[in-house]
Amino acid sequence: LSEKLDKALHVLKGHGSITEVNVAETLKEVRRALLDADVNFKIAKEFTNTVKEKALGQNVLTTLQPGQLMVKLVKDELTELMGGDAEGINLSGNPSIILMSGLQGSGKTTFSGKLANFLKTKKAKKPLLVACDVYRPAAINQLHVVGDQIGVEVFSDEGNKNPVQIAQNAIAHAKQNGHNVVIIDTAGRLAVDEEMMNEISNVYKAVDPQETLFVVDAMTGQDAVNTAKAFNDRLNFDGVVLTKLDGDTRGGAAISIKSVVNKPIKFIGTGEKMDAIDVFYPNRMADRILGMGDVVSLVERAQEQYDEEEARKIQKKIAKNQFGFDDFLSQIQQIKKMGSMKDLVGMIPGAGKALKDVDIDDDSFKHIEAMIHSMTIEERTNPSVINASRKKRIGKGSGTSVQEVNQLLKQFNQMSKMMKMMQGGGGKKMMQMMGK
């Protein structure tokens, strides 16, 4: 989607003057891009009409930078369409009960774990996970594995085939044991059917949740909208969780679902790991769809993960010209902590496209780590001693080639140079920012 829109908006970006024909052409491209992303035809048409009206209303053609204004209009309208401001989840109950709904494979169990982890680590809650998938013993086991991973208790009752009873027993258990959030993971089916709907609405009625979340696979496109509608008709859910937004995903689902069921998208899932969860921000999503990059979340994530102590230590070393390979390694480890590289790179404006085909997986770090580990302490602190025979030894020791060692040395030199530059100029501010 973003590439197509990029192209469409490219016509206008930077254009000194545009004509009405130009606006119409661009909006046609925008509409096509939305359709390609599985946005419903009617919604796409309404969208471009609204933008056109607003553009004419604001006299786009007579402003100094019509291209920029058009981009802003498209962006604002997209943001509006996806829900305006970010909405949180209701945690006012004691315990607060959160019910998961959705088709099989949409990511309910994974997301239940992610949410429990999020509430535990970011909101200091004591969640209880409840396994209400009574059909597949493997599903109960899956939730236990997830719970163990994040250190959250899982309530299950394998002999019991009655999800309403399990949910009620779990809530009683939560009250007795001081859990303030209860997350109920339910069974899904491959397609919407009466039995599943009855079952989940029975649980819904029995536990009266503060928050019912509908979990949907963002990759299912137009189908996602139909499923959302079916679940909303029965459960009147409170919010949507859009999973699998990490792959080659169509952002279109976010737009369509919101406009069809008019419920906020509250979270997104961006991977299989337990920390691959983000609060949904419509304006950031609009930026991402438009290829402007999600700089705000990049900065936020960097701030969260960057170890302040480490930053200060490195700063001192750079000042004293003592930056060596051990520091280089710890820098890399810091970067790794921030999340998968592909994720991060995708958030940098323009980079997502430029680096789309370049493989920046975490594996390339393993090689770098191996090479540094194969260096002597002297080589690490004073890399200038690394001559040809040392390079050969390092290559052998780490299972890499001399070429790769050379590449690493080059990267190291570039990084040290950059760090010195940052130290000198406005870079101090940047280091401080990262340190926070």
Contact residues for Mg ion, defined by CB under 5 A: 108-109, 139
CA distance 2 to 284: 13
The count of other CB atoms within 10 Å of the CB of residue 345 is 17
Please check if 400 is assigned to a binding site: no
Of the CA atoms within 13 Å of residue 230, those in its CB half-sphere come to: 18
Q: Which is nearer to ligand GDP, 107 or 282 (CB)?
A: 107
Q: Which residue is nearest to Mg ion (CB)?
A: 109
Residue 251 is a binding residue for ligand GDP (CB under 6 A): no
Of the CA atoms within 13 Å of residue 318, those in its CB half-sphere come to: 23
Please check if 54 is assigned to a binding site: no
Residue 188 is a binding residue for ligand GDP (CB under 6 A): yes
Helices (H), 83-162: 108-123, 137-150
Determine the size of the site formed for ligand GDP (CB under 6 A): 18
CA distance 292 to 6: 9
Stretch in the footprint of ligand GDP (CB under 6 A) among 77-85, 101-109, 250-258, 312-320: 101-109
Q: Which is nearer to Mg ion, 2 or 109 (CB)?
A: 109
Q: Which is nearer to ligand GDP, 108 or 179 (CB)?
A: 108
Q: Pick from 2, 22, 243, 283: which binds ligand GDP (CB under 6 A)? A: 243
Assigned token pair, 79? 């943001």
Q: Pick from 58, 90, 104, 423: which binds ligand GDP (CB under 6 A)? A: 104
Segment holding 100, helix H or strand E: strand 96-101
Please check if 189 is assigned to a binding site: yes
Stretch in the footprint of ligand GDP (CB under 6 A) among 100-108, 205-213, 279-287, 332-340: 100-108
Please check if 113 is assigned to a binding site: no
Stretch in the footprint of ligand GDP (CB under 6 A) among 40-48, 193-201, 224-232, 241-249: 241-249
CA distance 44 to 346: 25
Q: Which is nearer to Mg ion, 31 or 108 (CB)?
A: 108
Please check if 392 is assigned to a binding site: no
Q: Pick from 67, 95, 107, 239: which binds ligand GDP (CB under 6 A)? A: 107
Q: Which is nearer to ligand GDP, 211 or 246 (CB)?
A: 246
CA distance 312 to 320: 13
Residue 134 is a binding residue for ligand GDP (CB under 6 A): no
Please check if 107 is assigned to a binding site: yes
How does 250-278 read in b/e, with b if 16+ C-beta sit within 10 Å? bbbbbbbbbbbbebbbbbbbbbebbebbb
DSSP characters for 303-348? Answer: HHHS-HHHHHHHHHHHHTT---HHHHHHHHHHHHHT--HHHHHHHS
From ligand GDP, Mg ion, none, interface partner of 239 (C-beta below 5 to 8 A by class): none
Contact 204, 92 (CB under 8 A): no
Q: Pick from 244, 284, 288, 342: which binds ligand GDP (CB under 6 A)? A: 244
CA distance 134 to 184: 12
Residue 276 is a binding residue for ligand GDP (CB under 6 A): yes
Binding site for ligand GDP (CB under 6 A): 102, 104-110, 188, 243-244, 246-247, 269-272, 276
